[in-house]
A and B are shown apart, each in its own frame.
Chain A
């Protein structure tokens, strides 16, 4: 699938080191949790490619793939971890 995230910026930086990143989050299983998480991505101009969320015990596990530079991914990881509902965040680069 074509990556629609960061389109204009990617065009400016042809050599941009964007790669596929998968964020694996454990969050409290609350109605708003996905919305809060998605908000961090959209605020940073980052288009979500795929998202998968499922309950696991009392928690919810979300797997979210996006195209991002490694540096931006580290930044977003911290911003996501700051959300009160988020229990843990891991980033796996492809």
Chain B
């Protein structure tokens, strides 16, 4: 079949099951948008206010559904606006395909109008990227891009297409089989797998105090069922990283909270006392290990991950197993005997029950994030998808909502991108319309993406935007309080604009939480309203609340600050 490059692109998206695209038009993608006009019934396009948030929406869509997200932007500024979103997805190993237009082939390299070398710019923040110079290569490239994004350790892939390539005609044949890159698959083969599994199984058999630490890799591998059984078989306490939230049911008695800078005391103490630290699908981020030289010193470390470059990168394991977590855990579940570590588990559980102090409000701002998020958890029965911005709001969202299933907590872990949450919520809601979707935001982050309230209104996307308004860049302020002598340089936001009027201007329902008595009724009303329209909630909180516990960067994980005067 002879078709234009633009039509080939869309046919190939459909081949991949990508029926939803987030994006923003412009000169270099006019041909693609012209084709989208024709494919309206088959491909849904959601236009945002800004390309960055289209990128986050595609990312949120991917995190919520497990499918590969697709974002489309024009050349030059459209493409550079995508960079933060691409880096955000890549850092969290989220499958994303970003398509950008570029200037005509003969204008490349000449500093032409709206030309940027976007493949060069995004090289360090993508898993791979392509510049397509021939319409005849387009179909193969799109298939390859989807393969790369979703294969092994997932990630972001960019395809840059000059405008004349989208206009040129080429032959297109629908593909029968999914593309498989022989080289990539070969590199993933692990000749040592059997030996590694045997050695790991031996460790698991002889240990006395095992501890399971789970990361985002469990979610991308879809290994939650295998994990649940594995935890029962080896009878170990479980904790999750920020990225791993929800891969293990947090209402399960084995769960002892998050591990890391703002993890629970119980999770950290258990690291100290365990004799086998089982790390699943995780990269030992510096936000988790703290001082690496003393991390899990008393334990053997077993690290299971699909990416060989993660073994020994941050923490050197005693035994590493490289491969697909779902398969490996299933193997362990078959070969290991069931065991009982009664006292050890009791100890971990006891630690978990004593640790966390209740947040206290003030006379002027009596409402606490803990009270709001706990109530939200109760009213939604822990079944909502929670997206977050970055800062204290993000940590509170991770700490106080109890995630029961994978893909219910969506947050920028690796890059820590303020402005991520609202776009991500849009994508999550489009991908999972049956779910309640709440973006837990901070007022600073809200300033970075409030333009996307327009998107909520325009497409009537019934997301709840819950702003925890402390009038400060709370997390930075917390560091200034602790480490910079309370010199609150540029973190006090005296922006007394009216959230209610702002929402009203966009045509969005708005509610305010100010008193403790507001919490339950306002949340209930917002949830009711959000059955068919978007909602903004402003919740006023005190500016001096801290996220606790906190392990200062680079300090031993076992020694968190529990209180700050």
Q: Which residues of A contact B (CB under 8 A)?
A: 28, 32, 35-36, 39, 43, 74-75, 78-79, 81-85, 87
Contacts and interface: CB of A to CB of B under 8 A. Distances in A.
Contacts of B312: 74-75
Given A39-B123, A75-B313, A78-B309, 18 more contacts: A28-B183, A32-B123, A35-B120, A39-B124, A43-B124, A74-B312, A75-B312, A78-B313, A79-B309, A81-B187, A81-B308, A82-B307, A82-B309, A83-B128, A84-B127, A84-B148, A85-B128, A87-B183
B424 to A, nearest CB: 26
Contacts of A87: 183, 187
B102 interface: no
A36 B309 contact: no
Contacts of A79: 309
Interface in B303-355: 307-309, 311-313
B80 to A, nearest CB: 18
Contacts of A78: 308-309, 311, 313
Interface string B111-127: 00000000110011001
Interface string B52-82: 0000000000000000000000000000000
Given A75-B312, A75-B313, A78-B308, A84 B123 contact: no
B184 A84 contact: yes
A13 B128 CA distance: 36
A84 B156 CA distance: 12
9 contacts: A28-B183, A36-B123, A39-B123, A75-B309, A75-B312, A84-B128, A84-B181, A85-B128, A87-B183
A84 B124 CA distance: 13
Nearest to A59: B183
A78 B119 CA distance: 23
Nearest to B312: A75
Nearest to B124: A39
Interface string B180-214: 01011001000000000000000000000000000
Contacts of B124: 39, 43
Contacts of A28: 183
B119 A32 contact: yes
Of residues B120, B129, B181, B309, which shows the largest number of chain A Cβ atoms within 10 Å of its Cβ? B309
Interface of B: 119-120, 123-124, 127-129, 131, 148, 181, 183-184, 187, 307-309, 311-313
Contacts, number: 35
Contacts of B148: 84
Nearest to A79: B309
Nearest to B153: A82
Of residues B119, B187, B311, B312, which shows the largest number of chain A Cβ atoms within 10 Å of its Cβ? B187
A38 B252 CA distance: 47
Contact of A81 (B127, B131, B309, B313): B309
A81 B298 CA distance: 32
Nearest to B307: A82
Contacts of B181: 84
A38 B308 CA distance: 20
A81 B123 CA distance: 15
Nearest to A36: B123
A74 B308 CA distance: 11
A75 B127 CA distance: 18
Of residues A43, A78, A84, which shows the largest number of chain B Cβ atoms within 10 Å of its Cβ? A84
A35 B123 contact: yes
6 A-B pairs with least C-beta separation: A78-B309, A84-B128, A82-B309, A79-B309, A78-B308, A87-B183
A75 B316 CA distance: 11
Contacts of B187: 81, 87
Nearest to A76: B309
Nearest to A87: B183
B188 to A, nearest CB: 10
Nearest to A80: B309
Contacts of B123: 32, 35-36, 39
B321 to A, nearest CB: 15
A46 B177 CA distance: 42
A75 B181 CA distance: 24
A43 B187 CA distance: 23
Nearest to B157: A84
A79 B307 CA distance: 10
Contacts of B311: 78
A74 B187 CA distance: 16
B313 to A, nearest CB: 7
A39 B120 CA distance: 10
Nearest to A31: B131
A27 to B, nearest CB: 10
Contacts of B307: 82
A16 to B, nearest CB: 18
B468 to A, nearest CB: 36
Nearest to A32: B119
A73 to B, nearest CB: 13
Of residues A35, A43, A78, A81, which shows the largest number of chain B Cβ atoms within 10 Å of its Cβ? A78
Contacts of A82: 307-309
A87 B184 CA distance: 8
A14 B52 CA distance: 46
Contacts of B183: 28, 87
Contacts of A84: 127-128, 148, 181, 184
Nearest to B133: A31
A68 to B, nearest CB: 16
A24 to B, nearest CB: 16
A79 B308 CA distance: 9
A87 B186 CA distance: 9
Nearest to B128: A84
